[in-house]
Amino acid sequence: MKTYLVPIDFSEAAFNAAHYAAQLSHQTDVERIILINAYYVSPYESLLPNADMIMLRESEVEEEAGIRIGQLETLKYTLQSRVREGVVIQTRLHHSHLLRAVVDAVAQNSVGLVILGSIGNSTVREKNIGIGSHVIAISKTCPVPVMVVPPAYKYQRINTALVACDFKKVKGSVPAEALHKLLDKRDIKLLVVHAVAKGKQGVANAETLAEETALHQMLKDLKPEYHYISDPEIIKGVLNFAVEKGAQIVIALPHTYSFLQSILHNSISQQLAASSPVPVLLLK
Protein backbone atom coordinates (compact mmCIF):
# COMPACT_ATOMS: atom_id res chain seq x y z
CA MET A 1 0.00 0.00 0.00
CA LYS A 2 2.50 2.58 -1.20
CA THR A 3 -0.17 5.09 -2.29
CA TYR A 4 -3.27 6.30 -0.45
CA LEU A 5 -6.15 8.05 -2.23
CA VAL A 6 -8.30 10.41 -0.15
CA PRO A 7 -11.50 11.84 -1.76
CA ILE A 8 -12.07 15.40 -0.58
CA ASP A 9 -15.39 17.29 -0.81
CA PHE A 10 -14.26 19.98 1.67
CA SER A 11 -16.57 18.65 4.39
CA GLU A 12 -15.31 18.23 7.95
CA ALA A 13 -15.60 14.45 7.56
CA ALA A 14 -13.33 14.52 4.50
CA PHE A 15 -10.78 16.76 6.21
CA ASN A 16 -10.77 14.39 9.18
CA ALA A 17 -10.14 11.42 6.88
CA ALA A 18 -7.23 13.29 5.28
CA HIS A 19 -5.68 14.02 8.67
CA TYR A 20 -6.14 10.36 9.58
CA ALA A 21 -4.31 9.30 6.40
CA ALA A 22 -1.45 11.68 7.16
CA GLN A 23 -0.98 10.36 10.68
CA LEU A 24 -1.38 6.74 9.56
CA SER A 25 1.72 7.24 7.40
CA HIS A 26 3.86 7.05 10.56
CA GLN A 27 2.75 3.45 11.06
CA THR A 28 2.89 2.21 7.46
CA ASP A 29 5.21 2.20 4.47
CA VAL A 30 3.06 4.54 2.36
CA GLU A 31 5.09 6.81 0.08
CA ARG A 32 2.39 9.02 -1.45
CA ILE A 33 -1.00 10.46 -0.48
CA ILE A 34 -3.26 11.79 -3.25
CA LEU A 35 -6.03 14.25 -2.36
CA ILE A 36 -8.74 14.17 -5.04
CA ASN A 37 -11.81 16.31 -5.60
CA ALA A 38 -14.47 15.29 -8.11
CA TYR A 39 -15.86 18.36 -9.88
CA TYR A 40 -18.60 17.36 -12.29
CA VAL A 41 -20.61 19.89 -14.27
CA SER A 42 -23.35 18.47 -16.44
CA PRO A 43 -23.25 19.63 -20.09
CA TYR A 44 -26.83 20.78 -19.63
CA GLU A 45 -25.71 23.30 -17.01
CA SER A 46 -23.45 25.00 -19.53
CA LEU A 47 -25.75 24.65 -22.55
CA LEU A 48 -29.21 25.16 -21.10
CA PRO A 49 -30.58 27.45 -18.36
CA ASN A 50 -31.91 25.88 -15.17
CA ALA A 51 -35.32 26.57 -13.61
CA ASP A 52 -34.08 29.98 -12.47
CA MET A 53 -32.98 30.81 -16.05
CA ILE A 54 -29.32 30.72 -14.99
CA MET A 55 -26.79 29.19 -17.34
CA LEU A 56 -23.20 28.47 -16.27
CA ARG A 57 -20.52 30.20 -18.34
CA GLU A 58 -17.21 28.54 -19.07
CA SER A 59 -15.43 31.25 -17.09
CA GLU A 60 -17.56 30.42 -14.03
CA VAL A 61 -16.71 26.73 -14.32
CA GLU A 62 -12.99 27.57 -14.60
CA GLU A 63 -13.20 29.93 -11.66
CA GLU A 64 -14.84 27.28 -9.49
CA ALA A 65 -12.21 24.74 -10.55
CA GLY A 66 -9.47 27.19 -9.58
CA ILE A 67 -11.02 27.70 -6.14
CA ARG A 68 -11.16 23.97 -5.57
CA ILE A 69 -7.55 23.46 -6.60
CA GLY A 70 -6.57 26.23 -4.20
CA GLN A 71 -8.48 24.53 -1.37
CA LEU A 72 -6.76 21.23 -2.10
CA GLU A 73 -3.37 22.93 -2.04
CA THR A 74 -4.18 24.57 1.30
CA LEU A 75 -5.07 21.17 2.75
CA LYS A 76 -1.89 19.70 1.29
CA TYR A 77 0.17 22.40 3.02
CA THR A 78 -1.56 21.67 6.34
CA LEU A 79 -0.97 17.92 6.06
CA GLN A 80 2.67 18.24 5.04
CA SER A 81 3.72 18.81 8.64
CA ARG A 82 1.75 15.76 9.83
CA VAL A 83 3.02 13.03 7.49
CA ARG A 84 6.11 10.89 7.98
CA GLU A 85 9.21 12.45 6.50
CA GLY A 86 9.57 11.51 2.85
CA VAL A 87 5.86 11.02 2.15
CA VAL A 88 4.73 13.01 -0.90
CA ILE A 89 1.30 14.66 -0.97
CA GLN A 90 -0.30 15.35 -4.36
CA THR A 91 -3.59 16.95 -5.40
CA ARG A 92 -5.97 16.11 -8.25
CA LEU A 93 -9.10 17.76 -9.62
CA HIS A 94 -11.11 15.22 -11.60
CA HIS A 95 -13.88 16.42 -13.93
CA SER A 96 -16.28 13.51 -13.41
CA HIS A 97 -18.56 11.93 -10.84
CA LEU A 98 -16.85 10.82 -7.64
CA LEU A 99 -17.08 7.08 -8.30
CA ARG A 100 -15.53 7.40 -11.75
CA ALA A 101 -12.87 9.73 -10.35
CA VAL A 102 -11.89 7.25 -7.65
CA VAL A 103 -11.82 4.19 -9.94
CA ASP A 104 -9.77 6.04 -12.57
CA ALA A 105 -7.34 7.44 -10.00
CA VAL A 106 -6.82 4.00 -8.46
CA ALA A 107 -5.95 2.51 -11.85
CA GLN A 108 -3.76 5.39 -13.02
CA ASN A 109 -1.76 5.82 -9.81
CA SER A 110 -1.34 2.26 -8.49
CA VAL A 111 -3.35 3.20 -5.39
CA GLY A 112 -3.28 0.57 -2.65
CA LEU A 113 -5.82 2.03 -0.22
CA VAL A 114 -8.72 4.51 -0.43
CA ILE A 115 -9.45 6.43 2.78
CA LEU A 116 -12.67 8.41 3.03
CA GLY A 117 -15.04 9.89 5.57
CA SER A 118 -18.16 7.91 6.34
CA ILE A 119 -20.42 10.85 5.48
CA GLY A 120 -20.19 13.51 2.80
CA ASN A 121 -18.06 13.02 -0.32
CA SER A 122 -20.71 14.06 -2.80
CA THR A 123 -19.80 15.22 -6.26
CA VAL A 124 -19.38 18.97 -6.51
CA ARG A 125 -22.79 20.30 -7.50
CA GLU A 126 -24.82 17.72 -5.63
CA LYS A 127 -25.94 18.03 -2.03
CA ASN A 128 -24.11 15.87 0.50
CA ILE A 129 -26.28 12.78 0.80
CA GLY A 130 -24.21 10.83 3.24
CA ILE A 131 -23.04 7.25 3.28
CA GLY A 132 -26.18 5.88 1.63
CA SER A 133 -24.76 6.50 -1.83
CA HIS A 134 -21.09 7.33 -2.31
CA VAL A 135 -19.40 5.23 0.35
CA ILE A 136 -21.46 2.21 -0.63
CA ALA A 137 -20.75 2.69 -4.34
CA ILE A 138 -17.01 3.08 -3.77
CA SER A 139 -16.93 0.08 -1.42
CA LYS A 140 -18.65 -2.09 -4.03
CA THR A 141 -16.72 -0.90 -7.07
CA CYS A 142 -13.23 0.02 -5.92
CA PRO A 143 -10.74 -2.79 -6.70
CA VAL A 144 -8.53 -2.02 -3.68
CA PRO A 145 -9.25 -1.91 0.08
CA VAL A 146 -11.34 0.99 1.36
CA MET A 147 -11.01 2.49 4.85
CA VAL A 148 -14.09 4.33 6.16
CA VAL A 149 -13.29 6.84 8.92
CA PRO A 150 -16.05 8.06 11.29
CA PRO A 151 -16.36 11.87 11.16
CA ALA A 152 -15.52 12.39 14.84
CA TYR A 153 -12.73 9.81 15.08
CA LYS A 154 -9.26 11.11 15.86
CA TYR A 155 -6.28 9.02 14.85
CA GLN A 156 -4.94 6.56 17.37
CA ARG A 157 -2.00 4.30 16.69
CA ILE A 158 -3.29 0.89 15.62
CA ASN A 159 -2.30 -1.56 18.33
CA THR A 160 -5.32 -3.88 18.14
CA ALA A 161 -7.26 -4.89 15.02
CA LEU A 162 -10.51 -6.86 15.00
CA VAL A 163 -11.69 -9.16 12.20
CA ALA A 164 -15.33 -10.25 12.37
CA CYS A 165 -16.67 -13.24 10.43
CA ASP A 166 -18.62 -16.47 10.68
CA PHE A 167 -15.91 -19.13 11.01
CA LYS A 168 -18.12 -21.78 9.44
CA LYS A 169 -18.67 -19.75 6.28
CA VAL A 170 -15.18 -18.41 5.66
CA LYS A 171 -13.93 -21.18 3.33
CA GLY A 172 -11.52 -19.49 0.91
CA SER A 173 -12.80 -15.97 1.38
CA VAL A 174 -10.21 -14.60 3.80
CA PRO A 175 -7.77 -12.33 1.89
CA ALA A 176 -4.88 -13.65 3.97
CA GLU A 177 -2.26 -11.93 1.82
CA ALA A 178 -3.87 -8.53 2.42
CA LEU A 179 -4.07 -9.18 6.15
CA HIS A 180 -0.41 -10.21 6.22
CA LYS A 181 0.56 -7.03 4.36
CA LEU A 182 -1.34 -4.96 6.89
CA LEU A 183 -0.29 -6.74 10.07
CA ASP A 184 2.91 -8.68 9.43
CA LYS A 185 6.09 -7.27 11.01
CA ARG A 186 4.00 -4.76 12.95
CA ASP A 187 3.24 -4.93 16.62
CA ILE A 188 -0.52 -5.25 16.14
CA LYS A 189 -2.69 -7.62 18.15
CA LEU A 190 -5.26 -9.43 16.00
CA LEU A 191 -8.66 -10.40 17.40
CA VAL A 192 -10.76 -12.73 15.22
CA VAL A 193 -14.41 -12.79 16.24
CA HIS A 194 -16.97 -15.45 15.39
CA ALA A 195 -20.08 -13.27 15.21
CA VAL A 196 -23.57 -14.76 14.93
CA ALA A 197 -27.10 -13.55 15.53
CA LYS A 198 -28.36 -14.10 19.07
CA GLY A 199 -30.40 -17.27 19.38
CA LYS A 200 -28.20 -19.32 17.06
CA GLN A 201 -26.34 -22.27 18.49
CA GLY A 202 -23.30 -21.08 20.42
CA VAL A 203 -19.81 -22.57 20.60
CA ALA A 204 -17.94 -23.89 23.60
CA ASN A 205 -14.61 -22.53 22.45
CA ALA A 206 -14.00 -20.10 19.56
CA GLU A 207 -10.44 -21.27 18.94
CA THR A 208 -11.53 -24.91 18.81
CA LEU A 209 -14.12 -23.99 16.19
CA ALA A 210 -11.54 -22.02 14.20
CA GLU A 211 -9.15 -24.99 14.19
CA GLU A 212 -11.77 -26.97 12.29
CA THR A 213 -11.85 -24.43 9.46
CA ALA A 214 -9.53 -23.06 6.76
CA LEU A 215 -9.38 -19.84 8.75
CA HIS A 216 -6.96 -21.22 11.36
CA GLN A 217 -4.35 -22.26 8.79
CA MET A 218 -4.64 -18.97 6.89
CA LEU A 219 -4.02 -16.79 9.92
CA LYS A 220 -1.78 -18.90 12.16
CA ASP A 221 1.36 -16.86 11.39
CA LEU A 222 -0.39 -13.76 12.75
CA LYS A 223 -1.06 -15.50 16.08
CA PRO A 224 -4.63 -14.19 16.51
CA GLU A 225 -6.90 -14.46 19.55
CA TYR A 226 -10.26 -16.08 18.76
CA HIS A 227 -13.50 -14.89 20.34
CA TYR A 228 -17.23 -15.63 20.05
CA ILE A 229 -20.06 -13.13 20.32
CA SER A 230 -23.81 -13.47 19.88
CA ASP A 231 -26.01 -10.43 19.41
CA PRO A 232 -29.41 -9.82 17.79
CA GLU A 233 -27.76 -6.94 15.93
CA ILE A 234 -24.48 -8.42 14.71
CA ILE A 235 -22.94 -5.13 13.58
CA LYS A 236 -23.75 -3.42 16.87
CA GLY A 237 -22.37 -6.41 18.74
CA VAL A 238 -19.10 -6.35 16.80
CA LEU A 239 -18.64 -2.61 17.30
CA ASN A 240 -19.35 -2.86 21.02
CA PHE A 241 -16.85 -5.71 21.29
CA ALA A 242 -14.26 -3.60 19.44
CA VAL A 243 -14.70 -0.83 22.02
CA GLU A 244 -14.57 -3.27 24.90
CA LYS A 245 -11.27 -4.72 23.65
CA GLY A 246 -9.77 -1.33 22.78
CA ALA A 247 -9.46 -2.05 19.05
CA GLN A 248 -8.46 0.89 16.84
CA ILE A 249 -9.78 -0.67 13.62
CA VAL A 250 -12.39 -3.20 12.49
CA ILE A 251 -11.47 -5.23 9.41
CA ALA A 252 -14.31 -6.44 7.21
CA LEU A 253 -13.87 -9.45 4.95
CA PRO A 254 -15.40 -9.77 1.47
CA HIS A 255 -17.45 -12.63 0.02
CA THR A 256 -19.77 -15.15 1.76
CA TYR A 257 -20.83 -13.91 5.18
CA SER A 258 -18.97 -10.76 6.07
CA PHE A 259 -19.19 -7.37 7.65
CA LEU A 260 -18.89 -5.87 4.17
CA GLN A 261 -21.85 -7.85 2.88
CA SER A 262 -23.95 -6.52 5.73
CA ILE A 263 -22.99 -2.87 5.54
CA LEU A 264 -23.68 -2.61 1.83
CA HIS A 265 -27.36 -2.31 2.65
CA ASN A 266 -28.18 1.39 2.87
CA SER A 267 -29.99 1.38 6.20
CA ILE A 268 -27.25 -0.60 7.92
CA SER A 269 -24.60 1.56 6.29
CA GLN A 270 -26.20 4.68 7.69
CA GLN A 271 -26.26 3.03 11.11
CA LEU A 272 -22.56 2.19 10.77
CA ALA A 273 -21.67 5.75 9.75
CA ALA A 274 -23.53 7.17 12.71
CA SER A 275 -22.40 4.68 15.34
CA SER A 276 -19.05 3.15 14.39
CA PRO A 277 -16.55 4.25 17.02
CA VAL A 278 -13.51 3.24 14.96
CA PRO A 279 -12.48 3.14 11.29
CA VAL A 280 -13.64 0.15 9.25
CA LEU A 281 -11.26 -1.37 6.68
CA LEU A 282 -13.04 -3.14 3.82
CA LEU A 283 -10.65 -5.69 2.33
CA LYS A 284 -10.95 -7.03 -1.22
Could you report the per-residue pLDDT of 58-114, keeping only the tens digit for each?
Answer: 777 788 889 999 999 999 999 999 999 999 999 999 988 888 999 999 999 999 999
Collapsed DSSP state (helix, strand, coil) of residue 235? helix
Q: What is the pLDDT of residues 147-177, one digit of tens each?
A: 989 888 999 999 999 987 766 665 555 566 6
pLDDT at 128: 41
Give the chain's mean pLDDT: 77
Average pLDDT over residues 210-226: 76
Query: What band does 228 get if pLDDT is binned at 50, 70 and 90?
Result: confident
Q: What is the DSSP letter of 184?
A: T
**Within this chain, domains 3-149 and 160-282 share the same CATH topology:** yes
Specify the pTM: 0.82
Query: What band does 57 get if pLDDT is binned at 50, 70 and 90?
Result: low
pLDDT at 4: 97
Average pLDDT over residues 186-195: 82
Would the CA dihedral through 103, 109, 112, 115 be positive or negative? negative
pLDDT at 73: 97
**φ/ψ (deg, to 5) at 97:** -65, 155
Q: How many residues does the chain have?
A: 284
pLDDT at 211: 63
Max mean pLDDT among 179-183, 195-199, 220-224 falls in 220-224
| Burial class of residue 199 in the structure, from the number of CB atoms within 10 Å of its CB (0-12 exposed, 13-18 middle, 19+ buried) | exposed
pLDDT at 186: 67
pLDDT at 131: 39
Query: What band does 135 get if pLDDT is binned at 50, 70 and 90?
Result: confident
Query: What band does 254 get if pLDDT is binned at 50, 70 and 90?
Result: low
pLDDT above 80 (res 256): no
Contact in structure between 45 and 103 (CB atoms under 8 Å):
no
Which residues on adjacent β-strands are paired with residue 225? Answer: 191
Where do the H-state alpha helices sit in 87-233? 98-109, 134-141, 176-183, 206-211, 214-219
pLDDT at 20: 97
Average pLDDT over residues 179-184: 65
Helices 58-80 and 12-24, packing angle to 10 deg: 40
Q: Which CATH class is domain 3-149?
A: alpha beta
What is the fold of 160-282?
Rossmann fold (3.40.50)
| Percentage, residues of the chain above pLDDT 70 | 67
- Domain locations in the chain? 3-149, 160-282
Q: What is the pLDDT of residues 4-33, one digit of tens each?
A: 999 998 888 899 999 999 999 998 899 999
The region of weakest confidence among 79-83, 137-141, 257-261 is 257-261
Distance CA 37, CA 98 (A): 8
pLDDT at 230: 80
| Percentage, residues of the chain above pLDDT 90 | 32
